[in-house]
Amino acid sequence: MSGIGSRRGFVSLVGAGPGDPELLTRRAAARLAGADVVLYDALVDLAVLDLAPRAQRIFVGKRAGRPAVRQEFIHRLMIRAARRGCAVVRLKGGDPFVFGRGGEEALALTGAGVPFEIVPGISSAIAAPELAGIPVTHRGVSTGFVVVSGHAEAAYRGILENLAPQSCTVVVLMGIGGITDVAALLVARGWGLLTPAAVIFGAGTAAADVWTMTLGELQRGIESSDSTLPGTVVIGDVVRLRAAIAFDAADCEAAAR
Ligand SMILES: C[S@@+](CC[C@H](N)C(=O)[O-])C[C@H]1O[C@@H](n2cnc3c(N)ncnc32)[C@H](O)[C@@H]1O
């Protein structure tokens, strides 16, 4: 960190993608290589942090059983480090602007007059289904998709109750615990009980697991054997394509090496 005091600090709000460090953008890797400080979330794969060998690493995510670090505290850390002349990377899982509070952090930096950039990442909303062989849109099957947060009814009700049955693909993030209510709402809205659904746990990691089922089954709830793995739920006819798009992400990766 020598000479930091004389430099102008800068913050990069960086998306780390869904897990696999190979799914980082080149710009994300470059910013990590040059970082003095990395503030990272719980869903960031630790292998990604190895790309920042010089940096002081500060965990600011939620950890089971512990209260989350307050958002304002994260803002203060970023601003203070940048004002000290540090190259700061604020590293988030997936994309920083998709349920990542990246917008709030960008506003805080703007308000403080700290120069910053935004480095998009691959959101799990698309990558998790994709790595499971499920396209979120497909000609003749689904011409659009909506992404909702399933953590609270207020976050999705207004969106899902206005969707005509089977009109698009529904992707639910942060929804494993509340998936019964999400599924029940769609069924009440007229979506068929046999609508296919998939749950993708830990996409882009060695522990990745994909479960397929029907909306009726989803309505009865799901329980992962590993509650630490994040899960993304996909509902819609595109899930059927998984059987035809027969590929195994891990095999393909090995073959490409
Ligand atoms: C707070 S949101 C952040 C989303 C992130 N900004 C993105 O664009 O992917 C966290 C949710 O993303 C989903 N998620 C993140 N990483 C995932 C992964 N590797 N596999 C499946 N779902 C994932 C889960 O639904 C998780 O609850």
Catalytic residue among 50, 62, 226, 248: 62
Task: List, in sequence order, the alpha helices (H) in the chain.
Answer: 26-33, 46-49, 71-83, 102-112, 124-131, 153-160, 179-188, 215-218, 241-244, 249-256
> Tens of pLDDT along the chain (257 residues)?
445 656 789 999 999 999 899 999 999 999 999 999 999 998 788 899 999 999 999 999 876 556 778 999 999 999 999 999 999 999 999 999 999 999 999 999 999 999 999 999 999 999 999 999 999 999 999 999 999 999 999 999 999 999 999 999 999 999 999 999 999 999 999 999 999 999 999 999 999 999 999 999 999 998 877 778 899 999 999 999 999 997 666 665 556 55
62 is catalytic: yes
95 is catalytic: no
CA of 92 from ligand 1 middle (Å) equals 10
Catalytic residue among 20, 36, 41, 45: 41
CB 102 less than 6 A from any atom of ligand 1: no
Within 10 angstroms of residue 158's Cβ, the number of other Cβ atoms is 10
92 is catalytic: no
Kindly give, in sequence order, each residue whose CB lies less than 8 Å from that of residue 158, ignoring residues fewer than 6 positions away: none
CB 95 less than 6 A from any atom of ligand 1: yes
Rounded to 5 degrees, what are φ and ψ at 197? -145, 155
Sign of the Cα torsion 246, 249, 252, 256 reads: positive
| Contact in structure between 31 and 88 (CB atoms under 8 Å) | no
Q: What does the block give as tokens for 130? A: 């994709």
